[in-house]
Amino acid sequence: MSNEHNQEKLSSARFSESTDAFVEEFTASIPFDYRMYKQDIQGSLAHAEMLASVGILNQKELDAIIQGLGQVQQEIENGEFNWSIKQEDIHMNIEARLTALIGITGKKLHTGRSRNDQVATDIRLYLRDEIDRILKELQRLQVGLVDLAEREADTIMPGFTHLQTAQPVTFGHHMMAWFEMIKRDKERLQDCRKRLNSSPLGSAALAGTTYPIDRQMTAELLGFDRICENSLDGVSDRDFAIEFSAFSATLLMHLSRFSEELILWSSAQFQFIDLPDRFCTGSSIMPQKKNPDVPELVRGKSGRVYGHLISLLTLMKSQPLAYNKDNQEDKEPLFDTVDNVQNCLRAFADMVPAIQVKKENTYAAAKSGFSTATDLADYLVGKGLAFRDSHEVVGLAVAHGIETGQDLSEMSLETLQGFCEDITEDVYDVLTLEGSVSARDHFGGTAPNQVLAAVSRARAYLDL
């Protein structure tokens, strides 16, 4: 491969001295934007085809460009490409190599285009590809949640408010709550993708170009739904990156809550679940330990993803139109967000189907916290008491239970009648955990058959 290191910068004719070595490094983006090479080539191919169709390039030139870009792509993918910081970024590295390979025709590729609309196009194409990958992972996680919800549709656990035992719920119902969060995240991402999918190509540096370009053609070739309608906005808009980061921050917030519950539930104090060994690590000093590293790390990753959202918002704040070099700073936060979202989702999509629920423990925990107290209060309302009065009665019964170490369901009928004489034998139907969850039998409730209904709605939504 020829050595490009000494090749002069493409845009250096105006200058009387060469760029300071430090400045060259300081301003270069090739150390990180090389990862958009595929999209850069894809954009260039579409642009070249369009230039040929409007008569700016002839067929021979187009063929040479297509062949040359194909070779460049191959060199990159074979690890043979000689990246040069002198060429500043991915766009100039590829163009310089293309020119070295096919001569002057390589330089013609940039007709009617600027790196400003080129980079705007590349990031959109790159992010669109990554979004499609992320959507698939979101779907995989949702499938795992739905399957687990079905498996544990009638598994009883305590539901919490303030992390205090509140009312019994089904484990499946809890899984479907997570499913709903991920569903909203997915919708947010789909929405972001729609707005992202506009073509900035043809905006050129900022004002458009004097060449008779066909923006519709390049947009269609690149799979964009529409064209950015204003060239100034086209080169400077990074809203889509911010929207993607906002989606990511919200997703990570959900995964972090999710992680927190898995961490608590797998602790010796809760013992609600077992996380598969392959998602945990041991301790170098405490032989009994099995640490939930994966959820902990996901919980931790949320911090940097939030940070990237703030970085991007701050990056764009106060920037005058149109392109500014500041924009080069959009890539590292965006790339790191993409990587972390993908890794966290992968971890969860792999881990969720392997969660083992310890039903006896979740059942015992639900039983120990007077979780059917509300059911008793509702029962008394059914017997004609005002809710406030029944609340009072049940409070006394619970106090008795705490004193004697008994659950409400374990008290004799006589004892219960001591608190309210309207109580009869049928009270035990509502004091059992099974009775309690089954009674919440309406759309969105925790009853096992409602969980199964939610599961089948979810499967229809997932197209399963």
Beta strand pairing call for 226-227 and 273-274:
unpaired
| CB contact set of 285 (below 8 Å; sequence gap of 6+) | none
Per CB under 6 A, the list member of 116, 142, 302, 450 interacting with ligand ARG is: 116
Q: Which of 47, 86, 113, 115 binds ligand ARG (CB under 6 A)?
A: 115
What residues numbered 149-168 form the site for ligand ARG, per CB under 6 A? Answer: none
- Total residues contacting ligand ARG by CB under 6 A comes to 10
The residues, ordered by sequence, that sit 6+ positions from 266 with a Cβ below 8 Å of its Cβ are: 272, 273, 274, 275, 290, 292
Asked about 302 being catalytic, the answer comes back as no
Measured from the CB atom, the residue of 14 and 325 that comes closer to ligand ARG is: 325
Copy the structure tokens of residue 275: 């996380």
* Least spacing, CB of residue 116 vs ligand ARG, in Å: 5
Q: How far is the CB of 358 from ligand ARG (least distance, A)?
A: 52
Q: Give the side-chain half-sphere CA count within 13 A for 88.
A: 17
Shortest CB 326 distance to ligand ARG, Å: 9
- Tokens 């019964």 identify what position? 397
DSSP three-state, residue 154? coil
Q: Could you give the CA distance from residue 382 to residue 262 in angstroms, rounded to a whole number?
A: 38
Residue 283 a catalytic site member: yes
Q: Which of 40, 89, 152, 375 binds ligand ARG (CB under 6 A)?
A: 89
Of residues 32-71, those binding ligand ARG (CB under 6 A): 33
User: How many angstroms separate the CA atoms of 172 and 273, rounded?
Assistant: 13
Q: Would you say 327 or 436 has its CB closer to ligand ARG?
A: 327
Residue 262 as a binder of ligand ARG (CB under 6 A): the answer is: no
CB nearer ligand ARG, residue 231 or residue 446: 231
The answer to whether residues 405 and 395 touch, using CB atoms and an 8 Å cutoff, is: no
Q: Which of 12, 18, 267, 283 is catalytic?
A: 283
Q: Does 29 bind ligand ARG (CB under 6 A)?
A: yes
Yes or no: say if 81 and 96 are a contact pair by the CB < 8 Å rule.
no
How many beta carbons lie within 10 A of that of residue 90, not counting itself? Answer: 26
Compute the Cα dihedral for 325, 327, 331, 337 and give only its sign: positive
**Hey, what's the torsion of the CAs at 399, 403, 409, 410, to 10 degrees?**
-160
**Residue 119 contacts ligand ARG per CB under 6 A:** yes
In the complex, what is the shortest distance from the CB of residue 53 to ligand ARG, in angstroms, rounded to a whole number? 26
Using the rule CB under 6 A, give the single segment among 98-106, 114-122, 300-308, 371-379 that binds ligand ARG. Answer: 114-122
Q: How far apart are CA 33 and CA 10, in angstroms?
A: 18
Do 29 and 92 contact (CB within 8 A), yes or no?
Answer: no
Measured at the CA of 258, the angle between CA 256 and CA 261, to 5 degrees, comes to 110
Specify the residue, 33 or 95, whose C-beta has the smaller distance to ligand ARG: 33
Window contacting ligand ARG (CB under 6 A); options: 152-160, 221-229, 320-328, 418-426: 320-328
Of 162, 318, 412, 442, the active-site residue reads 162
Q: Look up residue 322 and give its DSSP letter.
A: S
| CB burial of residue 49 (10 Å; 0-12, 13-18, 19+) | middle
Measured from the CB atom, the residue of 61 and 89 that comes closer to ligand ARG is 89
d(CA 182, CA 200): 31
Select the residue interacting with ligand ARG from 266, 327, 390, 438 (CB under 6 A): 327
Rounded to a whole number of angstroms, the minimum distance from the CB of residue 323 to ligand ARG is: 6
Using CB under 6 A, which of 328, 340, 390, 409 touches ligand ARG? 328
Instruction: Give min distance, CB of 282 to ligand ARG, in A.
Output: 44
CB of 146 to ligand ARG, least distance (A): 41
> Which residues form the interface with ligand ARG (CB under 6 A)?
29, 33, 89, 115-116, 119, 323, 325, 327-328
Catalytic positions are: 162, 283
